[in-house]
């Protein structure tokens, strides 16, 4: 029997040398979601010597020479000066890929003469296209050295699973080295998948104040900034250590903060309608119970509408995505589809609720009977719906709300899971108290309802 292995490595480093700060910033934003660790300089603020030194550092996997599409914004002397730097790099490091963007393609002839005669890859500027950067993003994906790693394999598996099940599926993955987010429908990816290094559970390097504060904002136990910084250092060094008690809570808070950074980096996916199924993956969630994972998704992957939630608990999707032959891959996924994922439940998130004692009522028609629930604005209501059990949620709101479309009445098919049915009547986007003590108390109350037996 063949053995399938999916490994993830550190994100490769991309150096961006640009004609202007405008193009550098745009290219860095694009590379940050394309699975690269980007660092850049521009002729506008840096000298050629500094730019050359940056490009010649040992861990650089590729160099992007970025210019705009307009000669009015990027004068010819700037383009020529950047091409001179690039030609010198190509002559010295011929094994290191060099990519041209925007007006740099007009200088492509200078590079072919210094290499083996083959033209260098080039694409449009990072600010060009609809949406901006789409053409250059495809090129960065094509030259990525890790296109066969676990995160890219995970995306391939989700694309195939969406086609097999004829459903829209979103995946959010948080691991030690980064995070991935993608949304696929029966026809394939709806926007390019995002691989974000800053969405790691505990990013490499010294935790800065923004990272520490981000985790503190999702922590339900009192820790000061210094202790949390130490915890994050330990989490990066020993990610499987202290997977119980306070250690599990800190890990859960770090996972939620990483998921928040992933969502913030991918607004183009957040703007799409709610998918039929959201799959959570990655080692960050290994010590959290299923209902608590469902709560994290409800807190952060928020859109008006209804979605089922599932967990890649055995981490099989990425290994299956490594199968090279698509027909063989889809055949195996189809055979395992019912057993691949653990159902976490369903979440229904109406938006536009008015404050008051009641927003209406919900009638659940399940296999064991019918129950009725009063809908309380601003709260999170949990309804027991065991895994594998289907039901119909019939909503009767007092006013029109947004459930993907404006309506006062709606009938939604829901599926049970470890977290049951979550009726999320909180704000979209979620608004939490600014005071840390009140915030911790509120997070702790929500968490206690879905993490029974937690002792910290």
Which residue, of 116, 143, 170, is where some domain finishes?
143
Last residue of a domain, one of 104, 127, 143: 143
**Residue 173 falls within a domain, yes or no?**
yes
The pLDDT assigned to 115 comes to 47
Dihedral sign computed on CA atoms, order 267, 269, 272, 274: negative
| pLDDT at position 456 | 58
Work out whether strand 98-101 and strand 122-123 pair parallel, antiparallel, or are unpaired. parallel
Distance separating alpha carbons of residues 226 and 194, to the nearest angstrom: 32
Average pLDDT estimate for 186-208 = 92
What total of structural domains would you count in the chain?
2
Same domain for 40 and 187? no
Residues 139 and 187 in one domain: no
Residues 174, 86 share a domain: no
Taking residues 94-106, report their average pLDDT: 85
Same domain? 264 vs 299: yes
Same domain, 189 and 99: no
Q: Which three-class secondary structure string do you get for 148-164?
A: CCHHHHHHHHHHHHHHH
- pTM of this prediction? 0.90
58 token code pair: 């040992």
**Count of alpha carbons within 13 angstroms of residue 284, beta-carbon side:** 32
Q: Per the domain annotation, does 19 fall within a domain?
A: yes
Q: Do 132 and 185 reside in the same domain of the chain?
A: no
Query: Is there a domain that residue 219 lies in?
Result: no
Shared domain check, 193 and 81: no
> Residue 211: inside a domain, yes or no?
no
CA distances from 264 to 268, 281, 306, 350, 352 (A): 10, 18, 21, 21, 22
- Render pLDDT for 249-297 as a digit per residue (tens, 0 to 9): 999 999 999 999 999 999 999 999 999 999 999 999 988 899 999 999 9
- pLDDT tens readout for residues 219-232: 988 888 999 999 99
Domain boundary among 105, 124, 143: 143
Give the orientation angle of helix 245-265 with respect to helix 290-300, to 10 degrees.
Answer: 30
- Per the structure, the complete domain to which residue 95 belongs is given by 13-143
Give yes or no: residues 176 and 64 share one domain.
Answer: no
Do residues 119 and 160 both lie within one domain? no
Where b means 16+ CB within 10 Å and e means fewer, 201-231 reads bbbeeebeeebbebbbbbbbeebeeeebbeb
Q: Which CATH number characterizes residue 361's domain? A: 3.30.420.40
The stretches of 46-176 forming alpha helices (DSSP H) are: 48-55, 76-92, 108-112, 134-143, 150-165
Q: Are residues 262 and 346 in the same domain?
A: yes
Rg of the chain over CA atoms, in angstroms?
24
Q: Looking up tokens 């808070």, which residue turns up?
A: 253
One domain for residues 139 and 156: no
Residue 105 inside a domain? The answer is yes
Domain-embedded: residue 88: yes
């Amino acid at each position: 029997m063949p053995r399938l292995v999916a490994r993830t490595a550190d994100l490769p480093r991309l150096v961006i040398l640009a004609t202007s700060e405008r193009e550098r910033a745009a290219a860095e934003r694009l590379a940050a979601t394309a699975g690269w660790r980007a660092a850049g300089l521009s002729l506008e603020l840096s000298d050629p010597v500094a730019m050359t030194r940056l490009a010649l550092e040992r861990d650089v996997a590729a160099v992007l020479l970025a210019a705009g599409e307009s000669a009015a914004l990027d004068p010819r002397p700037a383009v020529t000066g950047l091409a001179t730097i690039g030609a010198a790099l190509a002559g010295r490091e011929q094994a290191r890929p060099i990519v041209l963007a925007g007006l740099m393609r007009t200088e492509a002839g200078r590079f072919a003469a210094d290499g083996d005669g083959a033209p260098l890859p080039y694409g449009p500027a990072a600010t060009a296209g609809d949406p901006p950067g789409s053409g250059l993003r495809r090129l960065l994906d094509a030259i990525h050295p890790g296109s066969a790693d676990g995160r890219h394999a995970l995306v391939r598996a989700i694309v195939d699973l969406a086609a097999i099940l004829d459903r829209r599926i979103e995946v959010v993955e948080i691991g030690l080295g980064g995070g991935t987010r993608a949304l696929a429908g029966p026809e394939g990816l709806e926007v390019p998948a995002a691989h974000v290094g800053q969405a790691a559970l505990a990013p490499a390097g010294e935790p800065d104040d923004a990272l520490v504060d981000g985790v503190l904002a999702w922590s339900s136990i009192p820790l000061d900034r210094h202790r949390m910084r130490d915890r994050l250092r330990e989490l990066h060094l020993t990610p499987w250590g202290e997977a119980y008690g306070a250690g599990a809570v800190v890990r859960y808070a770090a996972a939620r903060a990483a998921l928040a950074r992933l969502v913030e980096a991918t607004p183009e996916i957040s703007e799409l309608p709610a998918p039929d199924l959201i799959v959570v993956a990655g080692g960050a969630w290994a010590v959290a119970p299923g209902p608590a994972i469902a709560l994290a998704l409800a807190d952060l992957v928020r859109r008006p509408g209804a979605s089922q939630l599932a967990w890649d608990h055995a981490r099989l999707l990425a290994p299956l995505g490594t199968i090279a032959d698509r027909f063989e891959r889809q055949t195996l996924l189809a055979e395992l589809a019912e057993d691949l994922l653990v159902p976490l439940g369903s979440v229904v998130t109406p938006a536009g609720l008015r404050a008051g004692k009641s927003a209406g009522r919900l009638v659940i028609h399940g296999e064991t009977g019918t129950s009725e629930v009063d809908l309380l604005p601003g709260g999170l209501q949990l309804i027991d719906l065991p895994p594998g059990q289907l039901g119909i949620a019939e909503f009767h709101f007092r006013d029109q709300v947004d459930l993907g479309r404006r309506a006062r009445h709606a009938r939604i098919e829901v599926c049970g899971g470890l977290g049951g049915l979550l009726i999320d009547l909180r704000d979209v986007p979620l608004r939490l108290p600014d005071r840390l003590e009140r915030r911790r108390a509120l997070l702790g109350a929500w968490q206690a309802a879905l993490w029974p037996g937690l002792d910290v």
